[in-house]
Structure 1
């Protein structure tokens, strides 16, 4: 007996499940078509269950018409109910009702609009190559599109829509030729794109929602490569959200830790999301690694994904299912670590990862003023350093990666000259002169003890162990000294001993 809107769920209703082999392949970022279909069906079941709960709590306008329409054309109605923004709407409604909102306060009208005449729509984005096609709806009118967490852009003009189309056409051919399995997953998962306003502080922004399987909110991409990377990245978030609807992957999903992709502390669940999305991004750069920029990105992210997966497995925050999933993820990326790359590119990539972790510690791990004073007093009095540790604190707001040193590396790999304002330490670091870099970064710290980039530079240039391992402790002690011209390297050496 099929499960319909008009019927109660039968006792023998089919349960959504995945075999161990399918689950492991999914963890490795290589789901087959049957697995993706199962996840999509599970999301439709979720929407239907949410809708039943809402209608049981309060009459929903358009529900009876939808039931009648389903009898006439079940496939069409199921396709409408599977749309990502239905999940956003249904979750919002049920959450409001359970919080005690009145019927007038709940946006119940979306369902009636879904089956009615919605008026003109922006034409979908399409592309085809070598027998594989993709069609993506453009959600640039529905008010619910703000539910993906970013500020929606206005309805696209024909010229803006044409730019999106040209960029997708340019992205699709190389995706199909170099990463066909990933292109197949992308075509099967991606339902719609929600254009959003650009963020002046970011090169490009994108997001997904756990309630909107198959929807990607994205600012207009700079080029075909940016679009390909953004869509691959965000659709993997959709896949993982669907997995987490069926399986508990975390015992402690909220435990904070280091994420190589963000400048703020992230919960374990967020770190897994980053690792899973960047696994496919790493595969993308691996397919292009003959180019120096792509080789650099491949080197960075293969190490970052492996580190994040290893930290999750060692952290004790995963369930048995989560351990199986992350083990498969790490096993996928591990062989890539041995693939040779140009020595200069590998050095800069390792440095970029180290730089990020150092700046992350300086930003997010804190030493109490009292402990910093203890260190400063011990130093000035010639006593051994007391053992001081730092505390991880949650960031007050989301922080995406931002580094002028990383921007300089990217520009250099593209063959662009360094800006005239580039600090001497960064230039020396870039050309592989650690002694000159160390001197320059030391001068910067003496001039401005609050310069986190300079503190990280001291570590990158081979400073004492303490500044490499616990830069936040060295920096806190130095700032507490209040001694003009004090040598940060001498202090770091004292702490290292």
Structure 2
């Protein structure tokens, strides 16, 4: 876990606050700053690596972006830092540096520039080449050209009321988009199996998502206002998962600010959002701070998975589940049905893997401080325990599951406590 961005300092109090998973204005600001800095580095890398004649075309697109930024910096920033743009930038940079394989999609930089120009309101002219009879303009939507071939675009080319355009669907109550259009919303090379983005939804599908999203945000506001603010503050897009997906949700490291999620009932969706936002936070933190030096060998038990996990995966899982345990504890205090049982089970799972995390020999100093703060956050839940013996029952169930797992994986027993 090596951080490539060295300009950021993470003081100990802020590191411990982030480790607790509890939202804070300072933590949210840091995560946003890290994401923006990394995105600019990626985009600059794409521009510098563009070969031959393409470099001139890319430079023209970049010049249009700069002109738009002079008129409306916020609009351009939103386009450049849109989650799917990160997937495109990483994939394009990888292809530019690969001697063989698919060609990079440098034309997408033009789509970014045109989207930025349209949103900034400047007068411009640009020519782009639609793919398969469609042109996606990030943060705006989809444009169906009237005829094949290169498409001349001006400031009048986008009209949300024109039948030739399909605007990106905005979820109620904020700036989060339901993205079922952008070709890079879940790039095949970047997504973890078995995650697969849904095809474009019908209006009925959008309406169903509006209902579930509104319900999930209502529950978050009711039970945990701070986490509701964190979700809406850090999420720019939600990508619907295809039917049949085994996962309730997923986060792509290349698409910070986005969550892939199944359409699900509001209580489940609220929990998925809380869980996935933590993955995004920890991914950003890892870009500036080395928490461990372990390799990717899967050797650790995680009670929320059946397969062995590398230290990185165990840390991510424990961090996301720690947030879930806190969320369900608060929901239980407000009388949410079944919340105490969920809290007790998830907290017991986190508590069971914390020793392996904290004792791991390849943690850095920052990693030890981080996992120690996670453990402190887990212990603090004792202040508001579930009624009866639910916590003890949950711990016994997790212990049984751990023994059964190690009976199936005896070769991994030495890694049980780090």
Q: Same fold (TM over 0.5)?
A: yes
Match of 2:278 in 1: 236
- The answer as to whether partners of 1:140 and 1:155 remain within 8 angstroms in 2 is yes
Cα distance change on mapping 1:307 and 1:347 into 2, 3 Å: closer
Aligned to 1:170: 215
Change in 2 beyond 3 A, CA 1:323/1:14: closer
| Contact 2:348/2:394 (8 A) holds in 1 | no
Query: 1:339 offset after TM fit, Å?
Result: 4.3
Distance 1:224 1:285 in 2: 14
Instruction: Summarize the alignment of residues 345-356 of structure 1 with structure 2, pairs less than 5 Å apart.
Output: 345-346=390-391, 348-356=393-401
User: Any unmatched runs of 5+ in structure 1?
Assistant: 1-12, 128-133, 366-389, 394-468, 470-497
Contact 1:292 1:345 in 2 (8 A): no
Question: Which of 287, 292, 307 matches 2:330?
Answer: 287
2:290 is aligned with 1:245: no
Post-superposition offset of 1:198: 2.8
TM-superposition CA deviations, 1:333-361 (whole Å, max 9, x none):
11224644344644552343234324433
Alpha-carbon distance in structure 1 between the residues aligned to 2:181 and 2:214: 23
Q: Check conservation: 2:79, 2:112, Cα contact below 8 A.
A: yes
Structure 1 equivalent of residue 9 of structure 2: 17
1:42 aligns with 2:84: no
Which of these residues, 103, 106, 120, is aligned with residue 104 of structure 2?
106
Aligned match of 2:90: 91
Which TM-score applies when normalising by structure 1? 0.65
> CA, structure 1 residues 76+14, in 2 after alignment: closer, same or farther (shift >3 Å)?
farther
Q: Is the 8 A contact 1:254 1:268 kept in 2?
A: yes
Q: Per-residue deviation at 1:110? A: 1.8
SS in 2 for 1:193: strand
CA shift digits 1:199-240 (9 cap, x unpaired): 36x4x521101111110011111x110110001100110000
Partner of 1:392: 412
1-side partners of 2:110 and 2:400: how far apart? 53
- Structure ranking higher in helix proportion: 1
Task: Please point out which of 139, 146, 149 is paired with 2:186.
Answer: 146
Query: Following the alignment from structure 2 to structure 1, what is the Cα–Cα distance between the partners of residues 62 and 405?
Result: 50
Identify the residue that residue 444 of structure 1 maps to in structure 2.
Answer: none
What does the per-residue CA deviation read over 1:236-277, in whole Å, with 9 as the maximum and x for residues that have no partner? Answer: 100000000010011215352111211101111111101111
Deviation at 1:14, TM superposition (A): 10
Deviation at 1:157, TM superposition (A): 1.1
Give me the whole-angstrom Cα distance separating, in 2, the residues matched to 1:35 and 1:247. 14
Which secondary structure does the structure 2 equivalent of 1:156 belong to?
coil
Give distance in 1, aligned partners of 2:385 and 2:47: 59
| CA distance in 1 between partners of 2:402 and 2:107 (Å) | 48
Q: Distance in 1 between matches of 2:337 and 2:198?
A: 34
Q: 1:135 to 1:57 in 2, by over 3 A?
A: closer
2:296 aligned to 254, 258, 272, which one? 254
- Given that 2:328 and 2:340 are in contact with CA atoms closer than 8 Å, whether structure 1 keeps it comes out as yes
Contact 1:303 1:337 in 2 (8 A): no
The C-alpha deviation readout for 1:292-332, integer Å capped at 9, x for no partner, is: 63211111111221232222111222111111111111101
- Please give the alpha-carbon distance, in whole angstroms, between the structure 1 residues aligned to 2:175 and 2:48: 35
Report the equivalent of 1:190.
235
Match of 2:225 among 147, 158, 180: 180
> Of the two, which has the highest radius of gyration?
1
The equivalent residue for 1:360 is 405
Distance 1:76 1:122, change over 3 A: closer
CA offsets 1:105-148 (integer angstroms, 9 cap, x no match): 11222221123353322321123xxxxxx431111011112224
**What is the match of residue 121 of structure 1?**
167
Verify the 8 A CA contact 1:253 1:317 in the aligned structure 2: no
Contact map agreement 2:84 2:186 (CA 8 A) in 1:
no
CA spacing shift, 1:346–1:32, aligned 2, 3 Å: closer
- Please list every run of at least 4 consecutive aligned residues from structure 1 whose deviation after the TM superposition is greater than 4 angstroms: none
Unaligned runs of 5+ in 2: 116-136, 143-165
Number of aligned positions between the proteins = 347
Answer whether contact 1:85 1:212 (CA < 8 A) is retained: yes
**1:57 matches 2:53:** no
Would the aligned equivalents of 1:44 and 1:82 in 2 still touch at CA under 8 Å? yes
Residues 304 and 14 of structure 1: CA distance in aligned 2, closer, same or farther (over 3 Å)? closer
**Matches of 2:294 and 2:309, distance apart in 1:** 12
Distance 1:253 1:283 in 2: 30
Show the counterpart of 1:275: 318
